[in-house]
Structure 1
Amino acid sequence: MASKTTLEKAKEWAQNSYFSPESRAEISALIEANNQKEIDERFYKDLEFGTGGMRSIRGQGINRINIYTIRKATQALCLEVLAQKSANPSICISYDSRIWSFELAKVAAEVMAGNGVKAYIYKHLNPVALLSFAVRSHKSMAGVMVTASHNPPEYNGYKVFWSDGAQVTPPNDQNIINNYYGITDFTTIKTMGFDEAVKAGMISWIDDSVEESYYKAILSKSINPQICKDNGGKLKVIYTPIHGAGLVPCSRALADLGFTNVHVVPEQAKPDGNFPTVKSPNPENPSALKMAVDLMEKLGGDIVMGSDPDTDRLGVAIKVDGKIHYLTGNQIGILKLHYMLSEMKQKGNLDGENYVVKSVVTTPLLDTIAKKFGVEIYNTLTGFKWICGKMNELEKTAPQKRFVFATEESFGYLCHNFARDKDGVSSVSQMAEVALFYKLKGMNLLDALDKIYEEFGFSREDLLSLDYFGIEGQEKISRIMTNFRNFSDNTILGHKLVQIKDYSKGIEGLPKSNVLGFFFENGNQVYLRPSGTEPKIKFYIMIQEREGTLSNKKINAEIKATQFLDYFKAASERA
């Protein structure tokens, strides 16, 4: 039987009474307008359910985020949960400030209840870390975070966690994916009305005590709590949640630690899924922190910190000698790890059983720092699902080992073991602690970085991110990876190439992943990786400079990084 065309699929949607009148009308309008391009985008495939969940533009159709694709994803998750034969299965749910997030969270709860799985849902929006913490607190089988993280406003998504509080990993992730694609009829999905399920005890609001326990837990991980309590008011903090879920939890965490001189960007304080003041609510981008930087200059602040909608990322800016500096994700990780290890060593809290986890595309300078402190460091695939998967593995196989810190270059950090995902809330409070520590020594964060570079060597990291949208974009990204997978030259820009690692072959004990690593004789590294959640391909440039003064190292590294960026961009455009 011939496969259906996208237009046929669209007509079926428009005529199916299962879908709401509004949903059918949206698709009918596309058909009437003969908008074939948009029909193709919405119906050429089922919305992809990846190893961590799904993320897409909101809208009607099988390749969009809507209540129907959320129902389908939740049914798939419930089937895997029920397969575990737990006596009283439950799933925790949280959501951020994005458009439809609360509605989609309730839809997910209705499907859970319909399948006999109890749903615990937060009364108000909360970050990723509090979802992970709730899963562990309730001893639930799984968790769901309704979010599209830092994507543009038109996106939303669905992130799946397992019973350990980490994003779901094999074999459960693949089982859920198989379940998802096995659902071909939306009418087979089981649901129970929200109010009915609440009355039946199948949906419950998460108690406030869970949040209180979380705040106490992260406060206990402060390295120098007394310094913060005594001097917290001396650091003027500018914070922005960028219209996301971070205002209440980050303000609370800072206050608990003793930071009383905190100023929130008023125009960005209120949760708003339209993110009206930014092009994209991503604190990795300087433009998203502009209003906070303006407030810092107006008030004479010491540090700007910003978090994304689901508050799992941290961006930082400071002003030094009249110039604004936006720290990279790697630099923030370097500052945090060095602070933790140097202070722990001074207090006698390092004993050879401590460990750190990072992704392979995160600066190798962290490896150098950890090893010099006698701390073991593990490298994983990109993403905190793999980082926390390693934490969970070590918890079982080497319980004597103690977790210290985890990071990836994309502005994600975890400085405690109470949750199993990157935590922007504790990252904000810890960054304030680091900044205060150095301010009391008469140093800013650039001074601190230079001191680290002098001791451990200089490393510069740059990211080239190229967007390729839609069907054509997917094909383009595939061609780029194929071209570099078949790369046969011995050098790039005069740098002798000593090895190409193809992680799709499952090397170094890691799961197979569509990642390439280029390793050069002089220590430089370049990684290529298509994004798993966005229509883009990323190139991670890592330059190591070992000769000359620190000033010369910085200049030489910048030149080489720029050359690499230009080279890979041009090669990608030709693909």
Structure 2
Amino acid sequence: MWKDEYKRWKDFSDLDENLSVELEKIVEDEASLEDAFYKNLEFGTGGMRGKIGPGTNRMNIYTVRKAAEGLASYVNDQGMSKRGVAIAYDSRYMSKEFAVETAKVLGRHGIPSYVFTSLRPTPELSFAVRHLKAAAGVVVTASHNPPEYNGFKAYNEDGGQLPPAQAEVMIDFVNKVENELNVEAADQKQLEQDGLLRWVDEDVDTAYMEALKTVSVRDDLPKDLSVVFTPLHGTARHLVEQGLKQNGFNSVHIVEEQATPDPEFSTVASPNPEEHQAFEMAIDQGKAVGADILMATDPDADRLGVAVPDENGEYKVLTGNQTGALLLDYILGQSASIPENGLLVKTIVTSEFGRVIADSYGISSLDTLTGFKFIGEKIREYEQSGEYKFLFGYEESYGYLVKDFARDKDAVQAAVLAVEAAAYWKSQGKTLVEALDTLYQKHGYFLEDLKSVTLEGKSGADTIEKIMNDFREADIQEAGGKKVMAVEDYSTTVRQLVQEGTTEEIDLPTSNVVKFILEDDCWFCLRPSGTEPKIKFYYGVKSTTRGESEELLAAVKATVDERLHAII
């Protein structure tokens, strides 16, 4: 019962003073108390993320200590405690405090921590784990969530987010911590004196910047491109600026109002480059300076949004699928040499556009489950086997990886390559929008969309489960006038071939996802978010013209919406 958990906290004599004050503020609000205590903040395959505040279902020093205790057990179990753990954090409330709390718990177990002196992007943490040869890594971030959120993301010794097998071990250790209030943390000053809390900064920065040079495909392009960049109050400014400068792009205009780290993200409704409103200031500045390309990164700099002028001179924000297609085509089309065993890795909800482009260059493609940890896992697998050479990985949600010196999506790499691709196409007399049209004319007009439905609290979680069960059990024969050819249920890893009446196995890990494959390269997919109280609906269609694809997309969405509304 949540009331028992609340009482346990209320009666704890050494409760943190700030959390005690916050708890007192909601003591008369039973709904808020229930939401704060009705469950433990879940530590899943991607770590944990939640609202900051008192309670077992909140991000606070005690739930962070619980996660850190589980991480310490994991590292010791792997026999890698001497290698230590790299820790980074973003600009959110309590980020540095949570990073230090993590180090204090690890230090109590004799595990050294390498903690950045100031905020750093997630991809640099991924790089740092590998560079420092650490046993694991942690980033304290809630990515693009609202200001009241924070999170704890765990990384393995390869610099990737924990894949399922490792995550299960880690989750089991976290769940074995019976009382988060009793997890012991060592004294910070003593850890510093003993060398168990080591502060890092410029050395890792320098090494990352050197690796970033390898992202460039061509060094013979004109460098007269005008760039506007906004880090959206996050971590990316320095690395993106320096990365572009070392590649010779000096006409870079920073949106200064959004350049300072700010946990409130005060100039945007959401610090998410997927949201067009996040580009409003960049667009105004772009018009003022006549910029060729606008770029925005989320707070922890693992996602990149791009906007470029259209035929009317208005800035068009590209989708993640479109940017990924352009970057992929630039790599394959302009690299001096491409290995025959080169590989594109994307997710099951990412456009088929990338696969078609890769096919046209004779390059293999591979789908993974949603989440960049699965792409990182494949990079490591093929690095060890030598079967394939990783060339590019991306997902529709603005995440890209060009070079595998990091093993998570890297907006800094993507920004450097996007500017270079824009410079190339400018030298050909085209904008990126025109380059995209060229690809559509060659491969077909792919169009995608995403709809997120937010359903908060316990009742919301129950509704999301109801929606997933309904679509799984329904006998859906068509959507938008297109026949259903197959239904892929990743919870059972079974693909039902509807027209043939047969089934086959899906060679991927289990996940709470259902995908409907329609005729003529169309599809839609349902997936509850692993980090937010949302269920996501993904759509993809293909036709010969934009108009036809828009009509087809609307029709498929209407079919899904009709069923959704009948449920909720």
Q: Same fold (TM over 0.5)?
A: yes
Given candidates 359, 365, 380, the residue that maps to 2:353 is: 365
Please state if 1:250 is matched with 2:240.
Answer: yes
Residue identity matched to 1:261: S
TM-superposed CA distance for 1:207, in Å, is 4.5
Match in the other structure for 2:535: 537
Match in the other structure for 2:9: 13
TM-superposed CA distance for 1:223, in Å, is 0.3
Match in the other structure for 1:272: 262
| 1:115–1:190 Cα contact (<8 Å) kept | no
Residue identity matched to 2:10: A
Match in the other structure for 1:336: 327
Secondary structure in 1 aligned to 2:144?
coil
| 1:254–1:429 Cα contact (<8 Å) kept | yes
| 1:81–1:89 Cα contact (<8 Å) kept | no
TM-superposed CA distance for 1:29, in Å, is 3.0
| 2:215–2:417 Cα contact (<8 Å) kept | no
Residue identity matched to 1:438: W
Structure 2: distance between partners of 1:125 and 1:28: 31
Residue identity matched to 2:3: L
Given candidates 384, 387, 395, the residue that maps to 1:396 is: 384
Residue identity matched to 1:331: Q
Secondary structure in 1 aligned to 2:487?
strand
Please state if 1:569 is matched with 2:566.
Answer: no
Structure 1: distance between partners of 2:339 and 2:34: 59
Residue identity matched to 2:511: S
Structure 2 unaligned segments of length 5 or more: list them: 494-504
Match in the other structure for 1:550: none
Given candidates 207, 222, 225, the residue that maps to 2:219 is: 225
Given candidates 506, 510, 513, the residue that maps to 1:512 is: 510
TM-superposed CA distance for 1:400, in Å, is 5.5
Secondary structure in 2 aligned to 1:225?
coil
Match in the other structure for 2:498: none
TM-superposed CA distance for 1:36, in Å, is 0.7
Deviations 1:153-174 (A, max 9, x none): 1110000000010001132211
Given candidates 476, 489, 494, the residue that maps to 2:476 is: 489
Match in the other structure for 1:560: 552
Please state if 1:307 is matched with 2:303.
Answer: no
Structure 2: distance between partners of 1:87 and 1:315: 38
Secondary structure in 2 aligned to 1:184?
coil
Please state if 1:459 is matched with 2:451.
Answer: no
Match in the other structure for 1:478: 465
Given candidates 185, 188, 192, the residue that maps to 1:191 is: 185
Match in the other structure for 1:240: 230
Given candidates 183, 202, 206, the residue that maps to 1:208 is: 202
Please state if 1:76 is matched with 2:63.
Answer: no
Deviations 1:486-508 (A, max 9, x none): 12132223211111110111342
Structure 2: distance between partners of 1:206 and 1:180: 27
Match in the other structure for 2:22: 26
| 2:230–2:258 Cα contact (<8 Å) kept | yes
Match in the other structure for 1:549: none
Secondary structure in 2 aligned to 1:534?
coil
Residue identity matched to 2:332: L
| 1:223–1:340 Cα contact (<8 Å) kept | yes
Structure 2: distance between partners of 1:187 and 1:29: 20
Residue identity matched to 1:279: A
Please state if 1:141 is matched with 2:135.
Answer: yes
TM-superposed CA distance for 1:417, in Å, is 1.0
TM-superposed CA distance for 1:480, in Å, is 0.8
Deviations 1:402-422 (A, max 9, x none): 211000000000000101000
After TM superposition, the structure 1 stretch with the greater mean CA deviation from structure 2, 486-495 or 191-200, is 486-495
Given candidates 292, 317, 320, the residue that maps to 2:282 is: 292
Structure 1: distance between partners of 2:566 and 2:10: 40
Please state if 1:319 is matched with 2:313.
Answer: no
Residue identity matched to 2:306: V
Residue identity matched to 2:381: E
Deviations 1:488-539 (A, max 9, x none): 1322232111111101113421000011111112221111111111111111
Please state if 1:167 is matched with 2:161.
Answer: yes
Structure 2: distance between partners of 1:566 and 1:498: 19
| 1:14–1:28 Cα contact (<8 Å) kept | no
Structure 2: distance between partners of 1:351 and 1:77: 38
Structure 1: distance between partners of 2:11 and 2:21: 9
| 1:239–1:264 Cα contact (<8 Å) kept | yes
Match in the other structure for 1:526: 524
| 2:480–2:557 Cα contact (<8 Å) kept | no
| 2:309–2:433 Cα contact (<8 Å) kept | no
Secondary structure in 2 aligned to 1:505?
coil
Secondary structure in 2 aligned to 1:171?
helix
Please state if 1:384 is matched with 2:376.
Answer: no
Deviations 1:358-407 (A, max 9, x none): 1011111111111221111111000100011111111122x263211000
Secondary structure in 1 aligned to 2:220?
helix
Residue identity matched to 2:532: E
Match in the other structure for 1:412: 399
Structure 2: distance between partners of 1:396 and 1:190: 39
Structure 2: distance between partners of 1:6 and 1:266: 45
TM-score in terms of structure 1 length: 0.94
TM-superposed CA distance for 1:95, in Å, is 0.5
* Number of equivalent positions: 555
| 2:81–2:110 Cα contact (<8 Å) kept | no
TM-superposed CA distance for 1:187, in Å, is 4.9
After TM superposition, the structure 1 stretch with the greater mean CA deviation from structure 2, 170-179 or 512-521, is 170-179
Structure 1: distance between partners of 2:254 and 2:156: 34
